[in-house]
C-alpha cells in the first residue's frame, strides 16, 4: 500500500473475537518432501461474487492528470487487526539456521543484464494523493518484447525496452483506470483535503505472452474506518482490473471495476480490500484481497474473471469466487488459537499455456500453524515457535458457469516447507532495526512453469553473527503440482546484512531468477538479482547488483521516535516477455536531499528495471 496502513495479518490469541464476526544464504536446501495433509486438517471457504460495477474503455494518455494535493499528512491511522506492526518484532531473538550463501562469493549462474534502466522515483507525482508523496512504492511490472509497463503507488508509466519513457507517460492511477473524483451521495465533493482524488493503492501488472496483452490492477477504498482514509466519503471498496486492447500498452484499455466488499456481512461489518493480488492462466484473470472490517474482522477472498470476455470488452460473465478461507480444524487448532485464517492468498501467473482448467493459489501457514499451533514468533515466541507449510488452494472450472456450466469449486491442500519465523526489521548505515521487511506472506506473485509453482517469503535467520537478534532472510520454495512434493531453502547474508522481498521467475529449462533487496549497516538499501541453475539445490553467492543504494533511506526519520521503523517494499515484481527475457524491478534508496526539498521531500526511494536473457 502506498502509505503506512498495511495490516500485518497474523492470527493472535484474540482471534476468536474476530472469527465470531463471520459465520544469502541458507541452510542446505530441504530435500523434496511429499505432501500428505496431517490428520484432521480441513480447508473451508464460502462462495461469493465480485459484481461488475462498471466497464468502459480508457486511453490513459488522453485523460487529465491529477495534481498533487496540498496536504502534508504522512499516513492515516495505523491498525494491525491480526498483529502488532513492525515495531513489535524488534525484540525477536531467534531465527532459522542459515549458512550465509549470499556472502559465499560470486554466482556463476547469474548473467549480466541485457537491459538496465531507471524506473519511477518517489515524488508528489508518483503519489499525488499526498502533497509530498508517499511510501513505499510497491511494484507493478509487465514486459513484452517491445514495451515495459510499470506501476508504483498511484502512477503508471510505459517505456520501450531500452528504457525510453513513451510520449504522454507517466499518468496517474486515476487517469490510467478512468476513476472518478469522490463525492457524497448528493454529488457534492468529499475528501476535499486531498482534492477529492480517489484513494488508490497497491498496483499490480503482468504481461500475458499467450495472448500478447498487458493486464493491470489497483484498489480503491473510501470511507472505511479500518483504513482511516476519506472518512467523510461514502464507503467504497473496489478493484480496477484492465487489459490492453492490443499488444501496445500506449493504446486503449478495457477497464472493469469490481465490487470487493460484497456488502455488509452477517454482523453488519463492511470490509475493505487491501494488498492487491493478480494472476492469470489461459482461461481467466484472477484477483484476491485481504479484507479488513470496520469493527476489526478479517478474511481473505479470491475471484476469477473471464479472460476472453475482458479482452473483447464484453461483460457477459460473473466474477465468481470464494471468501473466508480458513483451516478450522487441525492438530494445532485449539480454542485458544482459534482457526487459521488464510491471508494474502496469491493467485499464480501460469505460463503453461494449456493449463487453464484449474488455477492454483498459495499462501503461507503464518499462524496459528494448524499442525503445531505455533505463532511464528509473533507473540514473543522464539525458535521453538516456528511455523511451516503452505496452503494450496485450487479453483477448478473457473469460467464454465459463464456458458451455462457448473460453478467453480475451491479445494485446499497442505504443502510442507522448511520452518519460518517473523523477522526483525533490517539495518541501514544510519540506523539499526529500522527498515521494515513486512511479515511472512508471499509478497511477489508466484509463477507456474512446467507444472511447478515457485514463490518466496521472508523469515528470520540466525546466521551466527553473535548478535542478540536475527537478520532478515528469504525462504524460497517450489511445489510440484502433480503430487504437492516440495523443495524449500533459505537465502541470507552474513553479518547484519538483510535479504528481503524475494520475487521469482523461472525459465523454460527450470533455471530460477530471484530479484531481492539488500541492506545493512555498511550497505545502503539496494536491489540485486541472482540465478539458480536448474540442477542446483540452492542459490549461491551474492548475485549481481541491479542498482546500488545512494544513501540511507529517510535518514533523519527512520529509527527515530517519529518513525521507529520505516516502510519498504511492499513487494517487487518480475515478468516473462515470451521472447526469451526475464524482466524484474526493485527498490533502492536514492540520494537523500532533505525533507523539504522537492520532488521527493525526503522520501528518497527509487526503482530500477532490468532484464536478463533466459537460459
Average pLDDT over residues 241-259: 98
pLDDT of residue 481: 96
pLDDT of residue 102: 75
Per the prediction, the chain carries an average pLDDT of 89
Q: Is the pLDDT of residue 302 over 80?
A: yes
Give the model's confidence band at 357: pLDDT under 50 very low, under 70 low, under 90 confident, else very high: confident
Tell me the per-residue pLDDT of 156-169, one tens digit each, with 9 for 90 and over. Answer: 999 999 999 999 99
- The more confidently predicted of residues 83 and 481 is 481
Q: For the chain, how big is the Rg over CA atoms in Å?
A: 22
Rounded-to-integer distance, Cα 267 and Cα 175, Å: 36
Give the model's confidence band at 296: pLDDT under 50 very low, under 70 low, under 90 confident, else very high: confident
Phi, psi of 255 (to 5 degrees): -115, 135
Strands (E), 294-357: 298-306, 319-327, 340-341, 346-347, 349-350
Average pLDDT over residues 220-226: 94
SS3 444: coil
Q: What is the DSSP string of 66-129?
A: PPPPS-----S----TTS--GGGGTT----EE---GGGSS--TT-PPPSEEEEEEESSTTTTTT
Average pLDDT over residues 526-545: 95
- The more confidently predicted of residues 19 and 88 is 88
Give the model's confidence band at 16: pLDDT under 50 very low, under 70 low, under 90 confident, else very high: very low
Rounded-to-integer distance, Cα 249 and Cα 146, Å: 10
Using a cut of 0.85, tell me whether the model's pTM lies above it. Answer: yes
Give the model's confidence band at 377: pLDDT under 50 very low, under 70 low, under 90 confident, else very high: confident
CB 203, CB 179: distance < 8 Å? no
pLDDT of residue 356: 67
- Across 31-45, 345-359, 425-439, which has the greatest mean pLDDT? 425-439
Tell me the per-residue pLDDT of 274-293, one tens digit each, with 9 for 90 and over. Answer: 999 999 999 999 999 999 99
Tell me which of 52-61, 122-131, 153-162, 385-394 is least confident: 122-131
Rounded-to-integer distance, Cα 587 and Cα 568, Å: 8
Rounded-to-integer distance, Cα 389 and Cα 415, Å: 5
SS3 10: coil
CB burial class (10 A; 0-12, 13-18, 19+) of residue 395?
A: buried
Average pLDDT over residues 335-355: 92
Grid cell, residue 392, equals 494450496
Q: Is the pLDDT of residue 25 over 60?
A: no
Rounded-to-integer distance, Cα 84 and Cα 226, Å: 15
Grid cell, residue 342, equals 488464510
Find where cell 509473533 sits.
378
Grid cell, residue 51, equals 459484481
- The closest alpha carbon to 3, from 129, 121, 135, 130, belongs to 135
Give the model's confidence band at 170: pLDDT under 50 very low, under 70 low, under 90 confident, else very high: very high
pLDDT of residue 263: 82
pLDDT of residue 381: 63
Q: Is the pLDDT of residue 385 over 90?
A: no
Tell me which of 107-121, 369-383, 420-434, 455-469 is least confident: 369-383
Q: Is the pLDDT of residue 540 over 70?
A: yes
Q: Is the pLDDT of residue 71 over 70?
A: no
Amino acid at each position: 500500500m502506498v502509505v503506512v496502513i498495511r495490516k500485518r495479518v497474523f492470527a493472535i490469541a484474540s482471534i476468536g473475537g474476530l472469527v465470531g464476526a463471520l459465520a544469502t544464504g541458507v541452510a542446505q536446501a530441504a530435500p523434496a518432501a511429499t505432501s500428505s495433509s496431517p490428520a484432521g486438517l480441513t480447508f473451508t471457504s464460502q462462495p461469493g461474487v465480485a459484481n461488475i460495477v462498471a466497464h468502459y474503455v480508457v486511453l490513459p494518455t488522453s485523460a487529465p492528470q491529477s495534481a498533487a494535493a496540498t496536504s502534508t499528512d504522512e499516513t492515516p491511522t495505523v491498525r494491525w487487526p491480526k498483529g502488532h506492526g513492525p515495531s513489535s518484532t524488534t525484540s525477536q531473538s531467534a531465527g532459522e539456521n542459515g549458512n550465509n550463501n549470499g556472502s559465499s562469493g560470486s554466482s556463476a549462474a547469474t548473467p549480466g543484464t541485457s537491459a538496465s534502466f531507471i524506473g519511477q522515483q518517489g515524488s508528489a507525482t508518483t503519489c499525488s494523493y499526498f502533497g509530498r508523496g508517499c511510501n513505499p512504492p510497491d511494484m507493478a511490472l509487465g514486459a513484452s518484447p517491445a514495451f515495459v509497463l510499470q506501476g508504483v503507488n498511484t502512477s503508471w508509466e510505459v517505456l520501450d525496452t531500452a528504457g525510453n519513457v513513451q510520449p504522454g507517460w507517466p499518468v496517474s492511477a486515476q487517469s490510467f483506470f478512468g476513476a472518478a473524483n469522490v463525492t457524497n451521495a448528493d454529488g457534492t465533493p468529499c475528501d476535499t483535503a486531498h482534492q477529492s482524488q480517489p484513494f488508490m493503492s497497491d498496483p499490480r501488472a503482468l504481461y500475458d505472452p499467450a495472448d500478447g496483452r498487458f493486464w493491470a490492477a489497483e484498489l480503491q477504498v473510501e470511507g472505511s474506518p479500518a483504513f482511516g482514509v476519506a472518512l467523510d466519503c461514502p464507503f467504497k471498496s473496489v478493484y480496477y482490473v484492465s487489459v490492453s486492447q492490443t499488444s501496445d500498452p500506449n493504446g486503449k484499455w478495457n477497464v472493469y471495476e469490481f465490487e470487493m466488499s460484497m456488502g455488509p456481512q452477517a454482523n453488519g461489518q463492511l470490509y475493505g480490500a487491501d494488498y492487491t493480488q493478480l494472476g492469470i492462466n489461459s482461461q481467466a484473470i484472477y484477483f484476491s484481497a485481504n479484507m479488513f472490517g470496520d469493527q476489526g474482522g478479517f478474511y481473505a477472498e479470491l475471484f476469477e474473471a473471464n479472460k476472453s470476455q475482458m479482452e473483447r470488452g464484453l461483460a457477459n460473465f460473473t466474477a465468481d469466487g470464494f471468501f473466508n478461507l480458513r483451516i478450522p480444524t487441525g492438530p494445532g487448532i485449539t480454542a485458544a488459537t482459534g482457526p487459521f485464517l488464510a491471508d494474502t492468498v496469491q493467485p499464480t501467473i501460469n505460463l503453461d499455456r494449456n493449463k487453464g482448467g484449474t488455477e492454483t493459489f498459495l499462501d503461507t501457514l503464518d499462524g496459528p500453524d494448524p499442525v503445531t499451533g505455533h505463532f511464528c514468533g509473533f507473540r514473543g515466541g522464539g525458535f521453538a515457535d516456528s511455523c511451516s507449510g503452505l496452503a494450496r488452494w485450487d479453483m477448478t472450472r473457473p469460467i464454465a458457469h459463464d456458458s451455462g456450466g457448473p460453478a467453480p469449486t475451491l479445494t485446499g491442500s497442505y504443502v510442507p516447507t522448511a520452518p519460518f519465523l517473523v523477522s526483525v526489521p533490517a539495518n541501514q548505515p544510519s540506523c539499526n532495526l529500522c527498515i521494515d521487511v513486512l511479515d511472512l506472506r508471499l509478497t511477489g506473485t508466484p509463477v507456474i512453469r512446467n507444472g511447478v509453482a515457485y514463490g518466496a517469503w521472508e523469515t528470520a535467520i540466525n546466521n551466527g553473527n553473535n548478535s542478540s537478534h536475527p537478520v532478515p532472510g528469504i525462504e524460497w520454495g517450489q511445489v510440484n503440482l502433480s503430487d504437492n512434493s516440495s523443495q524449500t531453502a533459505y537465502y541470507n547474508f552474513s553479518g547484519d546484512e538483510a535479504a528481503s522481498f524475494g520475487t521469482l521467475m523461472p525459465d523454460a529449462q527450470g533455471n530460477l531468477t530471484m530479484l531481492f533487496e539488500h541492506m545493512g549497516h555498511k550497505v545502503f538499501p539496494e536491489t540485486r538479482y541472482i540465478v539458480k541453475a536448474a540442477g542446483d539445490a540452492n542459490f549461491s553467492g551474492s548475485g549481481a547488483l541491479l542498482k546500488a543504494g545512494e544513501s540511507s533511506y529517510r535518514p533523519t526519520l527512520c529509527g527515530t521516535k517519529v518513525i521507529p521503523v520505516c516502510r519498504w517494499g511492499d513487494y517487487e515484481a518480475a515478468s516473462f516477455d515470451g521472447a526469451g527475457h526475464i524482466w524484474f524491478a526493485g527498490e533502492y534508496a536514492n540520494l537523500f536531499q532533505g525533507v523539504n526539498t522537492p520532488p521527493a521531500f525526503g522520501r528518497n526511494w527509487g526503482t530500477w528495471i532490468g532484464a536478463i536473457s533466459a537460459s
